[in-house]
A and B are shown apart, each in its own frame.
Chain A
Amino acid sequence: MADTMQFDLVSPERLLTSVQAREVRIPGAEGDMTAMPDHGPLITTLRPGILTVVAADGSSDFLVTGGFAEISAEGVSVLAEGAFPTGDVTGEMVAEMVATARASHESATPDRIDATAKTLADMVAVGAQLGH
Chain B
Amino acid sequence: MANLKDLKNRIASVKSTRKITKAMQMVSAAKLRRAQEAAEAARPYAERMNAVMAGLSASVGGSDSAPRLLAGTGSDKTHLLVVMTAERGLCGGFNSTIVRLARQAANQLLSEGKTVKILTVGKKGREQLKRDFGQHFISHVDLSEVKKLGYGNAQAIAKEVISRFDAGEFDVATIYFNRFQSVISQIPTEQQVIPAAYDAEGGASTVYDYEPDEQEILADLLPRGIATQIFTALLENGASEQGARMSAMDNATRNAGEMIEKLTIIYNRSRQAAITTELIEIIAGAEAL
Contacts and interface: CB of A to CB of B under 8 A. Distances in A.
A8 B45 CA distance: 10
Contacts of B56: 43
Interface string A32-71: 0000000011111100000000000000000000011010
B137 interface: no
Contacts of A68: 52, 217, 220-221
B194 to A, nearest CB: 19
B209 interface: yes
A81 B154 CA distance: 12
A6 to B, nearest CB: 12
A43 B48 CA distance: 12
Query: By CB atoms of chain A within 10 A, which of B49, B56, B207, B228 has the most?
Result: B49
B209 A79 contact: no
A29 B154 CA distance: 24
B93 interface: no
Nearest to B232: A12
B231 interface: yes
B45 A44 contact: no
B209 A42 contact: yes
Contacts of A11: 45, 151
A30 interface: yes
Contacts, number: 74
Chain B: interface size category = 20 to 34
A45 B45 contact: no
A76 B108 CA distance: 45
B37 to A, nearest CB: 9
Contacts of B206: 41, 72
A10 interface: yes
Nearest to B55: A43
Given A43-B208, A45-B217, A13 B52 contact: no
B211 interface: yes
A11 to B, nearest CB: 7
A15 B44 contact: yes
A13 B221 contact: no
B228 A12 contact: yes
Contacts of A13: 38, 41-42, 45, 150-151
Contacts of B154: 12
16 contacts: A10-B48, A11-B45, A12-B42, A12-B228, A13-B41, A13-B45, A13-B151, A40-B209, A41-B206, A41-B209, A42-B209, A43-B209, A43-B210, A68-B52, A68-B220, A77-B48
